[in-house]
Structure 1
Amino acid sequence: LPANVIEDFKTWIQMGAPDPRINQGVVVNPKVTPEDIEKGKSFWSFTLPKRAQPTLQKYKTWSDSPIDRFVASKWEEQDIEPAQDCQPSTLVRRLTFDLVGLPPTLEQGAGFLQDWKSSEQDAIERLVDELLDSKQFGEHWGRHWLDVARYAESSGKESDVSFPNAWRYRNYVIDSFNNDKPYDRFILEQVAGDLLQVNSDAQWNENLIATGFLALGPKSLAEQNPRQFQADLVDEQIDTTTRVVLGLSVGCARCHDHKFDPIPQSDYYALAGIFQSTETFYGGTRSQRNRQPSDWIRLPIQDPESAKPIMSRQEIAELKKELQERQEELLQARRAQRTGANTPGLNPNLLDQIVSQLRARIASVDDSGRPVSVCMGVQDRPAPRDARVLVRGEIDQPAQSVTRGFVQVLGNLPDRLPSNGSGRLEFAHWLVSNENPLTARVMVNRLWQQLIGKGIVREPDNFGVSGPPPTHRELLDSMALDFMDQGWSIKKMIRSIVVSRVYRLSSQYDPTSFEADPENLWIARGNAKRLSAEAIRDSMLTVSGSIDLSAPKSSMFASMGSAMMGPNGPQNVPLVLAPGGGNDDRSANLRRLLTSGMRNPTVNQFEIPNYHRSVYLPVGRNAMPRALDVFDFADPNSVTGTREVSNTAEQALYMMNNPFVIELSDAFARRLMQSTKDPQGRIDRAFELAYGRPATVEEINAAAKFLRKAKESQAGVASDEALFKAWSQLCQALMASAEFRIQN
C-alpha cells in the first residue's frame, strides 16, 4: 500500500477504529445561538426596507426624481459638486449599450438629436421606451442574469460532459426579460416551477424549463461515490440560490457555522433537506468519465421541428431487441463477477455503458420515431426526507437530523413544511415574500450596478456582515419598496434609473471631483465602463453590417448529445440526430469554434462564420469562444455578480490578428465604400458608426494620411485592392481603439 494510505490506517486505529457507518449518536452543537440570531436581525440588510424622504437645500431644484434627490442629499452631506450632464451623443450611446448592448444605429442617433432640440426629457423617454420594447433588450439583460445563474452548456470539472438542452433555459431567460415577467414570478418558476399551478401546457412547458436554473451548475460526473456526488450537487444548489437571490453565502455553513453571518450549520442542513428531497435532471449516458448520468424531463409540448420521424419503427424495434440482449449479458457478467466465474468477452463496465447509451437512444424518440423534446430541471422525489448534519461536511460523519426549513435570521418562517413535499415551493414563496428583507434589495442593487457602473452595495453577492455597507441605504430601500409596489417589474425599475438626471452625468475627468471622491462613492459623476465581451463582439458585427439579429433555433451543443469536452474541444462526439430530424454540421462547427478559442496558444485562432448575437454563442465550462474569453467573460463555474475588467496585451493581439476581426474589418470597409465615393464622407461615417460621433478635423486629416500611406505600402497590389485593404486597416484600427470599447 502507498505510504499515505498506511498512515491513514494508523490514524484510524489510533482513533479506536470507528465504523463511519455507525454515527447515529453524534450531535453537532452550534456556536451560533438563538440569541445571536435574534441579535443579528438588527443588521441593516436583515431588517425590512423603510421609506425615507431626502432633505435638500442646495440641490432642491436640481431634479424632481426621487433617485436624484437621494443622491443629491449625499452631495450636500459630503460637500461635493456634481459633474455637468453628458453630451447628447454620449447619452444616446450610453442608453443603447446599457439597454440593448448594441451601439446606436445612425437613424437612432440622428432621431435622438433631433428630438433633443425640442425636449431633452421627452427625447430620453422616447428612446428608452423604444429600447425597452425591442427584443434585443432581453438578449442583453438576459445575459446579465445568465452570469449569476452560472449558465454553461457543459458540466465542467474533470469530465466536462455537454448539456445539449441547456439552451432552453437561456431562451427562457431572454423571453422572461423581454416579457417583463415579474421578478417574484421569475424566481418562483426557477426554484419551484414544476410545483406551481398552471393553466395550459405552454405554461407548464415554460415552468419545467425554468427549473433548469437548479440543474445547470458544474458537476463532478466522474465522482464514483453517489453520496458524495449528491452532497456536492445539493451544496452547489444552495450556494447558488442564496447568493443569487439573497446575496448571502449560506453555502459557507456546510462544514461549520457561518464565520461572519448569524447562520448556524443547522440552517444549511435545513435547506439541504429541501434539495435532497428534490431530484435533478441534466441528462447524460454512463461512461468511464460520466459515472453519474441522469434522465431529462420530457416536455408536454414538442418542438415544431419534431413532427418528422427520425427513426423508423423497425430501427426502434432493433434497438429494443439489442437492449434486451445487452441487459441479459450485463446480468450474466455481474453474476460472474460476484462468483468469480470466467466470462470471456463480457466486461460489466463496458456493457453498463452500452446499456445506458441504448436506453438514451430509445428514449430520444416516441413510438413513431419522432424526436422527443426534453429539458434540464428538477422534480420532487416521491418521499421527502430531512437531512442530517455532516460533521465538517464529510459524508461519512453524519450527525443529528435537522427539520427542513429556511434561514432563521431572515424571519417569516413557517411552523413546519408539509410532509408530502420537499418544501421547495414554500421556500420559493419565502424567497419572494414582501417580508423577506433581502430579495428586492439584492435585485435592485444588481440593476443599479449594471446601469451606473457600481452597486450601492459594492459586492452584489454579499449583503452579509462581511460585505461592504451601502453607500446610499435610503435610496436602496426606497427603490426596493418601489420595485415590490410596482409588481416587481424589472423594466419599470430600469426605466426609473435611466431617465434620472444622475444617470446622464458626464464621466469626463475633472481633477477636483476625483480628488474629492476618487472612487466616485457619492455618484457625483458618471462611471466610464469598458464594454462586455459580448458587446464588443456585437459592436464589431453591427458597425460592419454583418450582424444577424435573428435568434438561432437552439445551440451548437444541441447536436452533440452527451459528448466529452477535452482540452481542445469536443471529444468522441457521437452521431446525434439534430432537433427536427437528420444530421447537421453543428457538431463539426462547434469543434472548430471551440478549438479556435481554447486557452491554448498552439491552436490556430479561427472562428466559424457565426453572426448571431454573442449571447447565442456556445459556452462550455472548459471551452469557450475566443471572442468571449479574451475580454473577461463571466466564469460559468460560479455566480458572477461582477465581471473582472482587464487590459492585456492578449486583447490587443486578438484585435490585430484574429481572422474573425479581420473579416469584420473587411465588411466594415465594404460598407463604407458602398455608402459614398467621397473619402471624407466615408471617414465621417466610419467615426459615426464606430464611436457614435462625427470625426474631428484632426481625425479626418490623420485618417486621410493613414489611408494614403497604407495604400502606398502595398507595392505590386492592384490599385482598387490596395485602396480596399487600406480602408479595411483603418476600420480595424477604429475597432481596436479604446474609444470603441469604452462607454463614457
Structure 2
Amino acid sequence: MNVLRIRTVLTCLVLVIPGAVLLSPAAGQEGIGAADRGEGLRLFESKIRPVLAEHCYECHSARDGADEGGLQLDTPRAIQAGGDRGNLAVSKMPNASLLLRAIAHTDVDIAMPPKQDRLSDTIVGDFRKWIELGAVVPEREVNDVQGREKTQAHWALQPICKAKIPDLRGSTWAKKPVDAFILAGLEAQGLEPSADAPVNVLLRRLHFDVVGLPPSPADILRFTALVAAEGMDLAVAQEVDRLLETQEFGERWGRHWLDVARFAESSGKAANISFPYAWRFRDYVFDCFNDDLPFDRFILEQIAGDLLPYESDQQRARLLIATGFLAIGVKNLDEMSAPQFRADVIDEQIDTVTRAFTGSSVACARCHDHKFESYTMEDYYALAGIFSSTKTLFGTWVAPSNRVGGDPLPLPIGREPIVLHKSISAERVASLKAEKESLLREREDFQAMNMGAMMMSEGKEKVPKKEFTLRDALRIFWRVGAIDGQLEKVDANGNAIPLAMGVLDDETITDATLLLQGDIKQPNIDVPRGVPFFDAMDEAHQRLQFPADQSGRLELAQWLTHATHPLTARVYVNRVWKHLMGEGIVRTVDDFGTTGEAPSHPDLLDYLATRFVEDGWSTKRLVRHLLLSRTYRQSSEHREAAFLADPDNRLLWRQSKRRLEAEAMRDAMLAVSGEIDLQRPIGSLVGRVIGDRPISLIGLDKRLPPDLDGTVHRSVYLPVIRDRMPDILDLFDVANPDFVSGAREATSTPLQSLYLMNSPFVRDRAAAMKKRLQAEADTTEERLRLAFEYCYARPPFADESQRLSEFLNSTAREEAELAWVDVCHSLLVTAEFRNLD
C-alpha cells in the first residue's frame, strides 16, 4: 500500500496538464514560441507565399481586385482575416484548418485550386508544417525601394562600435566589464542585482552550462573547500578552467552548433533516406570546440574547406568533412525534376548560411524582393550563382523509395581508419560492373529500336513490336542506382574507402539565372555572383572579386568574417550569451532583422562582439569571460519589486531559471545512476546498423533497439533522424533539424510527465541508481544524502529525509528493494532535477 501511495502522490506532483488554447491567425500569434515563429516565417516566405502567388492570386488578390468568396491571399492581413467561410487556419492544428482541407482535396466542396489537379504531396506537406508551426505570417511588409533603403539604417546593420565601459568605480559588485553594463542598466531603472547564488547551486549551474553533466559529490566537496580557502572568485575561475579542458565541453557546445547547422542523419520529406556518413561532421564539430578553433576559421572550413590549402591527407580529409555543413540539410529525394531538386538544394543552402551566420535569411527573396528586409531577388540569385557552381555530395543512391541519388564524398585514405561499411571482393566488383553494363545496353537497345520504329512509321513500313514496359524501365533505373551505390563505397579492388558528406566546386562555374516567381520554368536575366550589400561594408564590398575558376564560396566565407561585417560576430556572441543567461541580449537569436527584437543592452552586445574578435574569435575565452562575471553568478530567487519593474528580466536583475535540454536531462539520469559511458562511440547507429536504407523501414529492423536508444553513451550520440527522433529528445523539445535553431522551445505537456513516469529508460536508471547507492553507503541516512547530492547537488532537507526514511522503514521487507527504486525514480522526475536555478 505504501508503495502504491507514493506512486500516486508522485503522479500528482509530476503530471502537469497545461490549458489548451486554439489560435487562428486572425486571433493573433501571441501563443507561438520564438523558434516556431522564426521557422514559420521562413517557411511562409520560401514555400507558402510562392504557391499562393502561382495558384491563388488569380482569384484571391487585392492587387488584381479579385476576392472570390470574400478571400484575398496577397497580404498577411488578408490571410489572417480569412473569407466568407471563416478563418483559413487553426494555429498548430492542420487537420482542423480549412486551408489544408482545400488544397489537399479532402473536401470536394472546397477543393482548390479549382479545375486543377491536386497540388503535390510536397506542397501539401509544406502547408501542413506551416500550420503546425502556428500559421505565422509577417506582421508588416516593406514593398518599395524607399522602405528597403530604410532597413539599411536598422540597428543590426550599423558598424560594430567599441562601446565605452560604464564607469562604476564606486561599485564593489562588478567583477567584469560585462557587469558594468548590466549594473548601469539596473541602476538607471532604480534596481539592483541579486545576491550570489549558493555555492552548490552555482556549481551545478556551471557544470551543466559548460559540460552538460551534473557535479558529483566529490566535485561539491572539492569546490566548497576551495571557496572556503581561496574565495569564490578563484574557486570559480579554477573550476571553469578545468571544465573547459574536458572532452565533454566540446560535446556540450558542439551540440549547440549542431542545432544551428540543422544536423541530421536522414534526408527528411516523404522519401526519408538515411545519411550514413553524417556522423563525421558531428565529430568534426565536437573536435573544433574542444580545440577552440577560432570561429572565423570555423566558418571558412564549413563553407569552403575544400578550397583551403592543406599539408597532409589527414588535414585534407578534415577540411572536406567540414563542408558537410552545406550537405546535411533537408532534401526532397522524391522530386521528379532534376533542375527543381537542384534549385531547392541551393535555396536551402542560402537559407542556412545566411540565417546561421547573419541571423537573417536571404532565401525569402527567391520569388520576390524581401518583404521586410533590404534583400532583393538580385541578392538571392547572386548567392545562388555561388552554390549553383558547387556540387553537393550527400551519399544516397536511387532506390524504389526515392527518385534522387547523390554521390558520397570520397576522403583521402591517409590516417582515416574508420570505415563502417564492408569491403567486397574484386570479383564482386567486376560482376557489378558487368551487370551495370548489361542493363545500360538493354536500355540503349530499346531506345535505338524505338527510334528505328519511329523512322519506319514515317516511311509507312511495318513497325516491329518491342515489349519494354514501365516496370522494365524502373527495374533498370533502380538496379543501376543500387549498383552505383555499392561501387561508390569501394575502390577498384573492392576495398572499402572512407566517405563523407560535403561539397566540391562544380566542373562548370557559372552565374545563376533569376527565376520569375522562383519558377524554374520562367528564367529571366543572369545575375553575377555576389553577396548582399551593407552600407557598413562599402569598402570591403568594392574590393570583393569572384574568381572565374572557383565557385566563390571562399570569398563568401571571407566576406562573412570580414572585420567590418555588422552581423556575424554579433549573432554568435548573442547565441553564447543566450546559452549562459537564459535569453539573448537580442531575444530573437535567429532574427536580427526588422521583424526581430531590439537588443536589451546594445552597447554590451557591441562590446562583446568587439572583444570576441580581438580575442581571436575564441569561443572558450568568450564563455570563460561570461562565466566569471558577477552577472552570471546571481541567484535566481524571485524579488517582487524587481519583478514588477522588469517582469521579463531583460535587465538581468537575477539569473533566469532554465529547464535542462533533452540531452542534458538524459545524460544527468545516466550520470547519477553511474552508468554513463563518456567515451565517444565509433560512428553512429545510422552508420553502423541502418546504413543507407529508407528510414521508413527501420521500424522493421530487429537489430535496432526500441526507441532508437539502448545505449549509455552521451545523448549527443543518439541518432538524429528527421521525423523519427528518440522519445526523450522528441518530447523535451530537441531542435527541429529541418531548420537553423539558435534557441529551443521549452514546452510543458502531459506526454512529458507520462514519459517520466512510465518510460522503461527512466525506470531502469532508477534501478541502477538504487544499486549504486547500496554499493556506496551502508545506512538509509547516508544513501539518501548521496542520492540528493547526485541529483540536486545538495543534501536533503530535514523534512525530506524524515518522510523518505519513514516510507522506506515502513515498507515490508519483500518490497524494500522496489521501494528504493521508487525513491530514486521520484528524485529523477522532479522539477528540481530537470531545471537549473
Same fold? TM cut 0.5? yes
- The one-letter amino acid paired with 1:342 is K
Is 1:403 the counterpart of 2:528? The answer is yes
Return the alpha-carbon distance in structure 2 between the equivalents of residues 416 and 134 of structure 1: 42
Q: 2:358 aligns with which of 231, 238, 246?
A: 246
Is 1:464 the counterpart of 2:598? The answer is no
> Shift of the alpha carbon at 1:704?
1.1
Q: 1:289 aligns with which of 388, 396, 401?
A: 401
Is 1:381 the counterpart of 2:506? The answer is yes
Hey, what does 1:546 align to over in structure 2? 675
> Shift of the alpha carbon at 1:56?
4.3
- The one-letter amino acid paired with 1:224 is M
Provide closer, same or farther for how the CA distance between residues 265 and 344 of structure 1 changes in structure 2, counting only shifts above 3 A: closer
Hey, what does 1:78 align to over in structure 2? 189
Hey, what does 1:121 align to over in structure 2? 233
**What secondary structure, in the 3-state scheme, does the structure 1 residue paired with 2:698 have?**
strand
Q: Relative to structure 2, which stretch is displaced further, 84-93 or 106-115?
A: 106-115
Provide closer, same or farther for how the CA distance between residues 347 and 693 of structure 1 changes in structure 2, counting only shifts above 3 A: same
Hey, what does 1:690 align to over in structure 2? 791
Structure 2 gap ranges (5+): 1-107, 118-141, 455-464
Return the alpha-carbon distance in structure 2 between the equivalents of residues 423 and 37 of structure 1: 26
Superposition map of 1:415-434 within 5 A: 415-434=544-563
Is 1:98 the counterpart of 2:222? The answer is no
Q: Relative to structure 2, which stretch is displaced further, 363-372 or 493-502?
A: 363-372
Q: Relative to structure 2, which stretch is displaced further, 57-66 or 391-400?
A: 57-66
> Shift of the alpha carbon at 1:8?
5.6
Superposition map of 1:655-666 within 5 A: 655-666=756-767
Deviations 1:424-470 (CA, angstroms, capped at 9, x unpaired):
11001101111111100000000000000000000111111111000
Q: 2:828 aligns with which of 690, 715, 735?
A: 735
> Shift of the alpha carbon at 1:565?
1.7
Structure 1 gap ranges (5+): 10-29, 573-586, 597-606, 713-718
> Shift of the alpha carbon at 1:639?
1.0
Return the alpha-carbon distance in structure 2 between the equivalents of residues 631 and 650 of structure 1: 9
Percentage identity across paired residues of the two chains: 41
**What secondary structure, in the 3-state scheme, does the structure 2 residue paired with 1:620 have?**
coil
> Shift of the alpha carbon at 1:7?
3.9
Return the alpha-carbon distance in structure 2 between the equivalents of residues 608 and 360 of structure 1: 28
Return the alpha-carbon distance in structure 2 between the equivalents of residues 343 and 91 of structure 1: 77
Return the alpha-carbon distance in structure 1 between the equivalents of residues 686 and 321 of structure 2: 17
Hey, what does 1:371 align to over in structure 2? 496
Q: 1:562 aligns with which of 692, 698, 723?
A: 692
Deviations 1:645-669 (CA, angstroms, capped at 9, x unpaired):
0112111111111111111110000
Provide closer, same or farther for how the CA distance between residues 691 and 487 of structure 1 changes in structure 2, counting only shifts above 3 A: same
Q: 2:148·2:372 contact (CA, 8 Å) conserved in 1?
A: no
Provide closer, same or farther for how the CA distance between residues 347 and 503 of structure 1 changes in structure 2, counting only shifts above 3 A: same
Q: 2:306 aligns with which of 194, 201, 217?
A: 194
Q: 1:342 aligns with which of 451, 458, 466?
A: 466
Hey, what does 1:355 align to over in structure 2? 480
Superposition map of 1:483-562 within 5 A: 483-558=612-687, 559-562=689-692
Hey, what does 1:177 align to over in structure 2? 289
Hey, what does 1:648 align to over in structure 2? 749
Q: 2:156 aligns with which of 45, 52, 60?
A: 45
Q: 2:216·2:789 contact (CA, 8 Å) conserved in 1?
A: no
Deviations 1:287-332 (CA, angstroms, capped at 9, x unpaired):
2432221101100136425599732222222222222222222323
Return the alpha-carbon distance in structure 2 between the equivalents of residues 231 and 322 of structure 1: 33
Q: 1:40·1:409 contact (CA, 8 Å) conserved in 2?
A: no
Q: Relative to structure 2, which stretch is displaced further, 295-304 or 542-551?
A: 295-304
Hey, what does 2:575 align to over in structure 1? 446
Is 1:55 the counterpart of 2:166? The answer is yes
Hey, what does 2:77 align to over in structure 1? none
**What secondary structure, in the 3-state scheme, does the structure 2 residue paired with 1:378 have?**
strand
Hey, what does 1:144 align to over in structure 2? 256
Provide closer, same or farther for how the CA distance between residues 227 and 114 of structure 1 changes in structure 2, counting only shifts above 3 A: same
Provide closer, same or farther for how the CA distance between residues 117 and 273 of structure 1 changes in structure 2, counting only shifts above 3 A: same
Q: 2:709·2:726 contact (CA, 8 Å) conserved in 1?
A: no
> Shift of the alpha carbon at 1:31?
6.0
Q: 1:37·1:409 contact (CA, 8 Å) conserved in 2?
A: no
Return the alpha-carbon distance in structure 1 between the equivalents of residues 199 and 448 of structure 2: 78
Hey, what does 1:722 align to over in structure 2? 815
Is 1:668 the counterpart of 2:769? The answer is yes
Return the alpha-carbon distance in structure 2 between the equivalents of residues 618 and 90 of structure 1: 32
Return the alpha-carbon distance in structure 1 between the equivalents of residues 226 and 403 of structure 2: 62
Q: 2:437 aligns with which of 302, 311, 324?
A: 324
Q: Relative to structure 2, which stretch is displaced further, 342-351 or 694-703?
A: 342-351
Deviations 1:561-610 (CA, angstroms, capped at 9, x unpaired):
321122xx5268xxxxxxxxxxxxxx6443x34xx3xxxxxxxxxx6530
Return the alpha-carbon distance in structure 2 between the equivalents of residues 5 and 436 of structure 1: 45
Provide closer, same or farther for how the CA distance between residues 612 and 335 of structure 1 changes in structure 2, counting only shifts above 3 A: farther
**What secondary structure, in the 3-state scheme, does the structure 2 residue paired with 1:347 have?**
helix
Provide closer, same or farther for how the CA distance between residues 55 and 320 of structure 1 changes in structure 2, counting only shifts above 3 A: closer
Return the alpha-carbon distance in structure 1 between the equivalents of residues 660 and 112 of structure 2: 50
Q: 1:333·1:343 contact (CA, 8 Å) conserved in 2?
A: no
> Shift of the alpha carbon at 1:722?
2.1
Hey, what does 1:579 align to over in structure 2? none
Deviations 1:182-225 (CA, angstroms, capped at 9, x unpaired):
00000100011111111222211111001000000011110101
Q: Relative to structure 2, which stretch is displaced further, 730-739 or 326-335?
A: 326-335
**What secondary structure, in the 3-state scheme, does the structure 2 residue paired with 1:216 have?**
coil
Return the alpha-carbon distance in structure 1 between the equivalents of residues 829 and 592 of structure 2: 38
Deviations 1:27-46 (CA, angstroms, capped at 9, x unpaired):
xxx9654x766654332211
Return the alpha-carbon distance in structure 2 between the equivalents of residues 366 and 419 of structure 1: 33
Q: 1:334·1:348 contact (CA, 8 Å) conserved in 2?
A: no
Q: 2:413·2:497 contact (CA, 8 Å) conserved in 1?
A: no
Return the alpha-carbon distance in structure 2 between the equivalents of residues 57 and 319 of structure 1: 76
Q: 1:309·1:368 contact (CA, 8 Å) conserved in 2?
A: no
**What secondary structure, in the 3-state scheme, does the structure 1 residue paired with 2:695 have?**
strand
Return the alpha-carbon distance in structure 1 between the equivalents of residues 593 and 779 of structure 2: 60
Deviations 1:395-415 (CA, angstroms, capped at 9, x unpaired):
112222211100112633145
Q: 2:381·2:529 contact (CA, 8 Å) conserved in 1?
A: yes
Hey, what does 1:158 align to over in structure 2? 270
Deviations 1:693-724 (CA, angstroms, capped at 9, x unpaired):
01111110111123245x33xxxxxx3x5221
Q: Relative to structure 2, which stretch is displaced further, 335-344 or 46-55?
A: 335-344
Hey, what does 1:621 align to over in structure 2? 722
Q: 2:156·2:566 contact (CA, 8 Å) conserved in 1?
A: yes
Return the alpha-carbon distance in structure 2 between the equivalents of residues 334 and 729 of structure 1: 71
**What secondary structure, in the 3-state scheme, does the structure 2 residue paired with 1:53 have?**
coil
Q: 2:779 aligns with which of 641, 654, 678?
A: 678
TM-score, normalisation: structure 2: 0.79
Provide closer, same or farther for how the CA distance between residues 394 and 286 of structure 1 changes in structure 2, counting only shifts above 3 A: same
Is 1:633 the counterpart of 2:726? The answer is no
Q: Relative to structure 2, which stretch is displaced further, 531-540 or 279-288?
A: 279-288
**What secondary structure, in the 3-state scheme, does the structure 1 residue paired with 2:391 have?**
strand
**What secondary structure, in the 3-state scheme, does the structure 2 residue paired with 1:491 have?**
helix
> Shift of the alpha carbon at 1:4?
7.8
Hey, what does 1:604 align to over in structure 2? none
Deviations 1:651-696 (CA, angstroms, capped at 9, x unpaired):
1111111111111110000001111111011011100001010111
> Shift of the alpha carbon at 1:392?
1.6
**What secondary structure, in the 3-state scheme, does the structure 2 residue paired with 1:426 have?**
helix
Over aligned residue pairs, what C-alpha RMSD do you find? 2.2
Return the alpha-carbon distance in structure 2 between the equivalents of residues 500 and 735 of structure 1: 31
Q: 1:701 aligns with which of 795, 802, 805?
A: 802
Return the alpha-carbon distance in structure 2 between the equivalents of residues 379 and 337 of structure 1: 38
